[in-house]
Amino acid sequence: MKTIILTLAIFSTSLFNYSYANGNNSMDKVLENSISFKNGELTINKDQNEFVRVSFKINEEGQIEILKMNYSNEKIKDQLIKKLTTITPFGSFDIEKVYNYNFTFKKI
C-alpha cells in the first residue's frame, strides 16, 4: 500500500509572499524547493500530525543558522534540521532578519 507524506509550511502573514526589491527568490520559495521527504523517510503514523516550529536567520556565510525550535517528534526535528542546514540560499538575504516557520507533517 502506498502512503503519501504531506508537508505543509504555515507562514506568518509578515513572511508569506515576502518579496525582495532586487527580484531574488524569497525564503518561502527557497524552502518550498528544498524541503521534501520521500515515502517512509519520516516516522509518522497514519492520520497523525507532527509539527516543527523553527526560527532561524541567514548568517554572514550565507548558511541557515537555527535560533530556536519547538517540535512534537525529535526524529522529525532532526531530519528537518539536516535538510535546513544543507540549504544555501542564493541572492541577498538580510542577515539581521529572523525567519519563523511552522512545518506540519501528516501521513495520509
Chain segment 27-81, per-residue pLDDT in tens:
888 888 888 888 777 888 788 889 999 999 998 888 899 999 999 999 999 999 9
| pLDDT higher at 2 or 82 | 82
| pLDDT higher at 108 or 11 | 108
- How sure is the predictor about 17, in pLDDT bands with cuts at 50, 70 and 90? very low
- pTM of the full structure: 0.68
Tally of CB atoms within 10 A around 70: 11
| Backbone φ, ψ for residue 102 (5° rounding) | -115, 120
| Backbone φ, ψ for residue 82 (5° rounding) | -60, -45
- 3-state secondary structure (DSSP) of residue 71: strand
- 3-state secondary structure (DSSP) of residue 76: helix
Q: In DSSP terms, which residues pair with 66 in a beta bridge?
A: 56
